[in-house]
Amino acid sequence: MKVIGIDAATWDMIKPHRDELPNFDRLMEACDYKTVTVEETPKSAPLWTSIFTGLSQDEHNHKDFVVGDELQKREDIDGDFVWEVMDDVDLKILQIPAVIPPINYNTEYEAEGFGVSSDLDELEADRGKLIKKSKEVLEDDPEFFAVVFMQLDRVSHFYWNDKELILEWYKKMDEVLGELLEYYDFESDEPLIVLSDHGFAEFGEGRVQTLPEETPHGKLEGDHHEDAVLITKNVDFEIDQPEDVAKAILNHYDYDYPEHN
């Protein structure tokens, strides 16, 4: 099973530009796809935690990368990630942005700028580096592989009104898909999930404001939106909310969903 996350991807950019995004287009032709409207707070740290624990935000109680003045750690999250539960599955996990720096499991990777840079050159360097590492891992053909690319989120926050630049970065994410999908057989029955944690929109257009408009890195042009992207193939489990992704993963590997205290 393969899970490819593209933080902040939105159908509002993908659907109008399918002819310029051949790998998104291929996925939409070959797979099922839908919008997942996030009912809880559309922020990356708690959403990726829900996606890979199967717990709602109220259950895992993980609010953000930083709470107060404290950088949150894995130990602050109340719940088990799927890779901590599936002890007899050959799995590799890359760059899950539940905390800073992002989580790796059974492999090592150090993101440029700790995965939260807003510098375009650094983001591009990290994108290329993460593609290379992902391909190295996929060469070993693990039973379960998950990776999240965060660069689009950072670009969208600061450059959302520059649609030419934003489209350029969607093309870069499309290239990511092309590189990684070389390791997926569309004729097989292997499950595939490609998703975002939340969508994106002009600042103030989402259901809730998730970040201040003025930040130490500059003024934000875009903010998170509750409508996330979900693309699946060979997934025999209904995914309606982020936490359903982990349940679909555990269901595929015949693991019971662990009880949460």
Per-residue pLDDT tens listing for the chain (261 residues) = 999 999 999 999 999 999 999 999 999 999 999 999 999 999 999 999 999 999 999 999 999 888 888 888 999 899 999 999 998 999 999 999 999 999 999 999 998 877 778 899 999 999 999 999 999 999 999 999 999 999 999 999 889 999 999 999 999 999 999 999 999 999 999 999 999 999 999 877 777 766 665 665 667 788 899 999 999 999 999 999 999 999 999 999 999 876 665
| Rounded distance between C-alpha atoms, residue 206 and residue 222, angstroms | 10
Domains and their CATH numbers in the chain: 2-252 (3.40.720.10)
| Rounded distance between C-alpha atoms, residue 90 and residue 158, angstroms | 38
- Buried b / exposed e across 228-257, counting CB within 10 Å, b at 16+? bbbbbbebeeebebbbbbbbbbbbbbebee
pTM metric for this prediction: 0.95
Extended strands (E) in 12-102: 32-37, 66-67, 70-71, 91-96
Strand partners for 86? none
Cβ-contact 51, 245 below 8 angstroms: yes
| Rounded distance between C-alpha atoms, residue 52 and residue 47, angstroms | 9
Residue 227 parent element (H or E): strand 227-233
| Rounded distance between C-alpha atoms, residue 146 and residue 1, angstroms | 8
Residue 118: half-sphere exposure toward Cβ, Cα within 13 Å: 11
Q: Which residues contact 36 (CB under 8 A, 6 or more apart)?
A: 195, 227, 228, 229, 230, 239, 240, 241, 242
Residue type, 249: I
How many other C-beta atoms are found inside a 10 Å radius of the C-beta of residue 219? 11
Going by their DSSP bridges, the two strands 144-149 and 222-225 should be labelled as unpaired
